[in-house]
Amino acid sequence: KACDVTDSFIFKEINTKLHLRSGFLIHVACVCAGHNASRDVVTLVKSILFHRRNPLHFHFITDTVANRILSSLFQSWMVPSVQVSFYDADELKSEVSWIPNKHYSGIYGLMKLTLTKALPAHLSKVIVLDTDITFATDVAELWGIFRKFTDKQVIGLVENQSDWYLGNLWKNHKPWPALGRGFNTGVILLYLDRLRKMGWEQMWRLTAERELMSMLSTSLADQDIFNAFIKQNPVLVHQLPCFWNVQLSDHTRSEQCYTEVSDLKVIHWNSPKKLRVKNKHVEFFRNLYLTFLEYDGNLLRRELFGCPSPASPQSSALEELDEDDQCYDFRRERLTIHRVHLYFLQYEDTPTEDGTDITLVAQLSMDRLQMLEAICKHWEGPISLALYMSDAEAQQFLRYAQASEVLKNRKNVGYHVVYKEGQFYPVNLVRNVALKNANTPYVFLTDVDFLPMYGLYDYLRRSVVQMDMSNTKKALVVPAFETLRYRLSFPKSKAELLSMLDMGTLYTFRYHVWPKGHAPTNYAKWRTATTPYKVEWEPDFEPYVVVKRDCPEYDQRFVGFGWNKVSHIMELDAQEYDLMVLPNAFMIHMPHAPSFDISKFRSSPSYRHCLNTLKDEFHQDLSRKYGSAALKYLTAQRNM
Amino acid sequence: KACDVTDSFIFKEINTKLHLRSGFLIHVACVCAGHNASRDVVTLVKSILFHRRNPLHFHFITDTVANRILSSLFQSWMVPSVQVSFYDADELKSEVSWIPNKHYSGIYGLMKLTLTKALPAHLSKVIVLDTDITFATDVAELWGIFRKFTDKQVIGLVENQSDWYLGNLWKNHKPWPALGRGFNTGVILLYLDRLRKMGWEQMWRLTAERELMSMLSTSLADQDIFNAFIKQNPVLVHQLPCFWNVQLSDHTRSEQCYTEVSDLKVIHWNSPKKLRVKNKHVEFFRNLYLTFLEYDGNLLRRELFGCPSPASPQSSALEELDEDDQCYDFRRERLTIHRVHLYFLQYEDTPTEDGTDITLVAQLSMDRLQMLEAICKHWEGPISLALYMSDAEAQQFLRYAQASEVLKNRKNVGYHVVYKEGQFYPVNLVRNVALKNANTPYVFLTDVDFLPMYGLYDYLRRSVVQMDMSNTKKALVVPAFETLRYRLSFPKSKAELLSMLDMGTLYTFRYHVWPKGHAPTNYAKWRTATTPYKVEWEPDFEPYVVVKRDCPEYDQRFVGFGWNKVSHIMELDAQEYDLMVLPNAFMIHMPHAPSFDISKFRSSPSYRHCLNTLKDEFHQDLSRKYGSAALKYLTAQRNM
């Protein structure tokens, strides 16, 4: 069947016109390692999806980092008629690690040589792309060129658009051997079948070994070896028209290509300078690139014509919803699957070895970005942040983070982007993304508009030991305060905090508008407490707590604002967590303008009505899960 | 010359392949009236520009509103190889106003009939489009179809995809006469030459008059008349393939079109429900539409290959800049021309007839949107707001404004979008857009994070008379205060304000961080003042003032933050405006988190250095303009 993306066995011959009809499956392979390449490759994928009319199968050769990022991204992206497979680059390392290489792509730059081995044996053809490629046309057009291969040809390539391999760039410049200008390996049509049959695996090795005797190392990674191989076996190459790989490195001759054709197909940002490269038409190319960089990836979820997607659990759940239900929009939002890009920026962290490490967990949108630097200054431990953003905002965030000295120097902050969709703020879904991607045994569940006291990270780690958290079920409460003033000199100690409280410079959190949320913390007792004390759950209690990472998730039915933390604390109580207030911990809420979403919904009676309906349903679910003990929540609710 | 957009005389014959090369000029006409259509047509234009490879000439038949909006938009958009002409719809009204019409498009729906007369006599062919059209392909492909016209054919149309003209939709449904299903006039290829020669102007009138005798009025505007005409003269029509006008109205048969072809060219949102229309593939179509709705229009400024733009004053000024100048980025920003969309939302206002009317003038970006409702509640007079936003943010703003009861009910607020570009916030450019588009004799120059006292509008209008503003050169100072607290109960009178000041609930504006900015207001004197008093200019004074609309503009060299209002007040003083403080006026600054841009730049030494350079240059310009009297500003500066 034409739309079957799982059927990669049969290659269907196509004629020139066929690419305008949908149907046949196209295979694309990409080597991708690390955080930055995983971000870059998304722009390539968007540009392919934007123009495509066929089912696609992406094959990613990835390291652990890229695998984690891209597998969760595609799983949540759910693009119809797109299949994704991953292959472990680390397993392939031994195949190429013996080759000395000076190119900035490192060992991963060499892995394209191993594709006949890495990809499934039944895969007969594949388009191989670098991550710094942008498509300006339907990839099916490129795929169609396989048809033009003679029986002998096994590899399709575009000629190099620089003089590198001519060996005349500077005195004593001695490049690897190549046919004339050589070929660029940013875009490859790889006839895997034929390569396997002719013994490619042995052949490229022999070539590499021979040349390395005089060359000592490769300069341009796989490209040097491909070119040396081709110089020996020129009949194996099918030369592609130059517009299939317009190379924007410096000193490029690419202009001779596209001024003639004026119909660009593929752009290759193969300068280490990337977008900052100088080129007469760079504005034009940059605009094309920026188009996809900021493009709303949700729009690419459209189905192919003639390829209806099989019913998913999500689609049948959607159909079961009653459109006339007053709370239809709420229920629908809960079924929305948001695209998630984990570890959007560089991330490196190993939890401390003593088993006490704690991750600060929070979520935010663009309007709270200015809090990040301050939080980083107040908390030196690991942080897991989920950011609710559009594709364009994610790029804005990237520029901000790259320009910030504070954020640049912190590698133990995991930034996870949850892409915007729909009219509600799915706050608990976003919180869960941050929670699930914490990598330490404990988590500090907080909000982004709070600053922890200085030293909280160390104090909490000590408390984790003191309270025997690993063998008991406890939630450590960090008492919350607030300031209504911008220019706060942050208290350096509990004593200082208490005197500011007495002066009226600080208040207990939400003292004026919602004291119930934190009253059970028992601030009066806390003033004089020197040891942790237990407090009881009460309705509407929503303290900030430290718990084990395997705590219950937030209930995602609560979207927009209201009851999102309350329901979580209730579930901790239902699971019999002890709520222990820490005597020497505090955090302070910093003022900010009311958020958009809050003001949008607080005034709406139907919003409040639906929130009540959702609360009732949550109570029923609690009773089902935890039995009669959970009835107390319902009773408490009814007495209010 | 192929790229000449001004040469619309010669139509160059083209062959099937030629549309892939750039060169020939394509003419597109559109009838566009009112604020909403002016916003919608931009999405159409973006979709055309996105795919085009040819020079284009847009012909807009507009009312006064659309003319003002679209002419300033295209002037600031500066898309290379695009020419725009406007034709006055009001002059054409008499041609069609005699035809009774029930269609929602009103009289403008009929104007397509008058195009042979409205458009220049030398224009031989034109593509006519409704504003609710989205292109999914290069418009040159459609233009190429003129070539396929037989000698007799004068009009190219797609068949209707509804059963309307079959007359069987309901009992007694009696549509206008048509050939079968009739034709849809959302997309027309109009062979103007031939129409003029055969006497179209008389012919359609005769048809209309004849049919109106029995039909009384048109239901579908021009489309009824076109169809009745075609029924009489079927040989004149060239029928276009259905994918050139896929009609998404309800009960559409359009599905039969695109499931066969799977290559859509043009989508027509011709249901009054627009995007909310029910259609099997509506997600697909909506995604295409949303792509262009939120698309960054700046990216469409790219030059056509082979059509280099002639040097503009802007480009030569850019070339004169020294790239090694430390302040290059600042100078470059000043030369950036930002796209401007005036009156983004519905606007209706007539200044009061007594010549005292005052517009509140302010600028903002997304992070201050939540202030708008409060300002509207505090100021009932006209408001001119410039909003600095991206295309995607403008849509977010639109949704916000349409959902807000407060904003929906105000028609005297002009919202002008200045599109984002570059790394600085061009605050004075944005202010000038708001200032220049105030339509009253006086303006109140304020900032969006201030709330005026209740009744300020009336008080200021009385003061304008009292102070004889029309015959003198005065700037009325509204004293500024601030609160550092969110929950402020806004003072109802000067007495209440003074007591809050004494209590420490309020402060004079920037009392803590920058008292010089407002100290010359002389708050001590103001406490007891009962009549306006004159104050002298002092360095760094930046009060909020009421002045005549023809006051000097803000100096646009000051971008980012710093010196943007100070320089303006300095220039008022140089022009010898008297600064008069009003004894019973006040305004209060509401707290907000520090803006992104401020924190980005305040810490940078090179930013401060460049600001000083710009100040020096501003002083020099002042001296040149106002002579030795302006030396006092330089002296004041040096003494600081």
Q: Tens digits of per-residue pLDDT, B224-240?
A: 999 999 999 999 999 99
Substitution target in B370, B377, B389, B503 with the highest count of A β-carbons within 10 Å is B370
A296/B291 CB distance under 8 A: yes
A262/B287 CB distance under 8 A: no
The pLDDT score that the predictor gives to residue B601 is 60
For this complex, say whether ipTM is above 0.90: no
> Of the candidates A258, A305, A594, which has its C-beta nearest B370's C-beta?
A594
The pLDDT score that the predictor gives to residue A266 is 92
Question: pLDDT band at B248, cuts 50/70/90?
Answer: confident
Running DSSP on this structure, what letter comes out for residue A279?
Answer: -
Is A555's pLDDT higher than 70? yes
Question: pLDDT band at B322, cuts 50/70/90?
Answer: confident
Q: Which two tokens stand for residue B476?
A: 């009325």
> Of the candidates A370, A512, A599, which has its C-beta nearest B487's C-beta?
A512
B262/A291 CB distance under 8 A: no
The pLDDT score that the predictor gives to residue B13 is 31
Q: Which residue has the tokens 């008991």?
A: A472
The pLDDT score that the predictor gives to residue B602 is 59
Terminal-residue alpha carbon distance, chain A: 60
The pLDDT score that the predictor gives to residue B278 is 56
Question: Taking CB atoms and an 8 Å cutoff, what residues of chain B touch A291?
Answer: 295-296, 299
A305/B281 CB distance under 8 A: yes
In this prediction, residues A578-583 reach a mean pLDDT of 98
Residues 6 or more apart from A125 whose CB is under 8 A from it?
A: A11, A27, A143, A146, A189, A190, A191, A192, A193
Nearest chain A residue to B258 by CA distance is A305
CB proximity A602 to B under 8 Å: no
E strand or H helix that includes residue A473: none
Choice between B373 and B323, residue whose per-residue pLDDT is larger = B373
Is A260's pLDDT higher than 80? no
Cα(A623)–Cα(A290) distance, integer angstroms: 51
> Of the candidates A306, A400, A593, which has its C-beta nearest B592's C-beta?
A593
- Give the three-class secondary structure for A485: coil
Is B478's pLDDT higher than 90? yes
Q: Using N-to-C axis directions, what is the helix angle for A605-626 and A566-574, rounded to 10°?
A: 10
Per the prediction, chain B carries an average pLDDT of 88
Residue closest to A74 by CA, chosen among A316, A408, A339, A303: A339
B22/A290 CB distance under 8 A: no
Question: pLDDT band at B449, cuts 50/70/90?
Answer: very high
Substitution target in A484, A512, A598 with the highest count of B β-carbons within 10 Å is A484
| A638 C-beta neighbours (distance < 10 Å), count | 8
User: How many Å lie between the alpha carbon of A55 and the closest alpha carbon of chain B?
Assistant: 14
Cα(B181)–Cα(B179) distance, integer angstroms: 6
Nearest chain A residue to B308 by CA distance is A281
Q: Which two tokens stand for residue A12?
A: 């269907």
User: How many Å lie between the alpha carbon of A336 and the closest alpha carbon of chain B?
Assistant: 15
Nearest chain B residue to A593 by CA distance is B592
A596/B485 CB distance under 8 A: no
B263/A303 CB distance under 8 A: no
Choice between A172 and A205, residue whose per-residue pLDDT is larger = A205
The residues in B 19-78 lying below 8 A from A, measured between CB atoms, are 20-22, 53
CB proximity B296 to A under 8 Å: yes
Is A34's pLDDT higher than 90? yes
Q: How many residues does chain A have?
A: 640
User: How many Å lie between the alpha carbon of A250 and the closest alpha carbon of chain B?
Assistant: 20
A367/B370 CB distance under 8 A: no
Cα(A158)–Cα(B212) distance, integer angstroms: 66
Q: Can you list the domains of chain B with their CATH numbers? A: 11-301 (3.90.550.10), 340-639 (3.90.550.10)
> Of the candidates B21, B370, B486, which has its C-beta nearest A599's C-beta?
B370
Question: pLDDT band at B250, cuts 50/70/90?
Answer: low
> Of the candidates B287, B369, B486, which has its C-beta nearest A299's C-beta?
B287
Question: pLDDT band at B259, cuts 50/70/90?
Answer: low
B22/A287 CB distance under 8 A: no
Question: pLDDT band at A217, cuts 50/70/90?
Answer: confident
Q: Which strands make up the sheet holding B133-135, listed edge to edge?
A: B133-135, B266-268, B246-247
CB proximity B367 to A under 8 Å: yes
Residue closest to B384 by CA, chosen among B436, B332, B420: B436
Q: What percent of chain B has pLDDT over 70?
A: 91
Question: pLDDT band at A157, cuts 50/70/90?
Answer: very high
B262/A20 CB distance under 8 A: yes
Is A12's pLDDT higher than 50? no
Running DSSP on this structure, what letter comes out for residue A28?
Answer: E
Cα(A392)–Cα(A202) distance, integer angstroms: 46
Question: Taking CB atoms and an 8 Å cutoff, what residues of chain A touch B599?
Answer: 370
Q: What percent of chain A has pLDDT over 70?
A: 91
Q: Which residue has the tokens 């990613």?
A: A60
Question: Taking CB atoms and an 8 Å cutoff, what residues of chain A touch B258?
Answer: 305
CB proximity B81 to A under 8 Å: no
> Of the candidates A299, A369, A513, which has its C-beta nearest B290's C-beta?
A299
pTM for this entry: 0.83
Is A598's pLDDT higher than 60? no
Cα(B183)–Cα(B223) distance, integer angstroms: 8
Question: Taking CB atoms and an 8 Å cutoff, what residues of chain A touch B485?
Answer: 484-485
- In terms of C-beta density within 10 A (0-12 exposed, 13-18 middle, 19 or more buried), how is residue A150 classed? exposed
B306/A259 CB distance under 8 A: yes
Is A10's pLDDT higher than 50? no
Rg of the Cα trace of chain A? 29
CB proximity B302 to A under 8 Å: yes
> Of the candidates A262, A294, A593, which has its C-beta nearest B370's C-beta?
A593
Nearest chain A residue to B488 by CA distance is A484
Cα(B387)–Cα(B418) distance, integer angstroms: 6
Cα(B375)–Cα(B370) distance, integer angstroms: 10
- Give the three-class secondary structure for A447: coil
Q: What percent of chain A has pLDDT over 90?
A: 62
Cα A152 to the center of its chain, rounded Å:
42
CB proximity B503 to A under 8 Å: no
The residues in B 262-281 lying below 8 A from A, measured between CB atoms, are 262-263, 281
Residue closest to B435 by CA, chosen among B424, B425, B444: B444
CB proximity A256 to B under 8 Å: no
Cα(A119)–Cα(B392) distance, integer angstroms: 40
The residues in B 306-335 lying below 8 A from A, measured between CB atoms, are 306
Cα(A336)–Cα(A318) distance, integer angstroms: 9
Residue closest to A438 by CA, chosen among A343, A345, A370: A343
Q: What is the pLDDT of residues A430-469, one digit of tens each?
A: 999 999 999 999 999 999 999 999 999 999 999 999 999 9
Q: What is the pLDDT of residues B577-602, one digit of tens each?
A: 999 999 999 999 998 766 655 555 65
Substitution target in A294, A315, A448 with the highest count of B β-carbons within 10 Å is A294
Question: Taking CB atoms and an 8 Å cutoff, what residues of chain A touch B305?
Answer: 258-259, 262, 281, 284
A291/B299 CB distance under 8 A: yes
Question: pLDDT band at A250, cuts 50/70/90?
Answer: low
Nearest chain A residue to B303 by CA distance is A284
Substitution target in B256, B259, B294, B424 with the highest count of A β-carbons within 10 Å is B294
Q: How many residues does chain B have?
A: 640
Q: Which of these ranges, A220-234, B310-324, B557-571, has the smallest mean pLDDT?
A: B310-324
| B280 C-beta neighbours (distance < 10 Å), count | 10
> Of the candidates A291, A302, A305, which has its C-beta nearest B287's C-beta?
A302
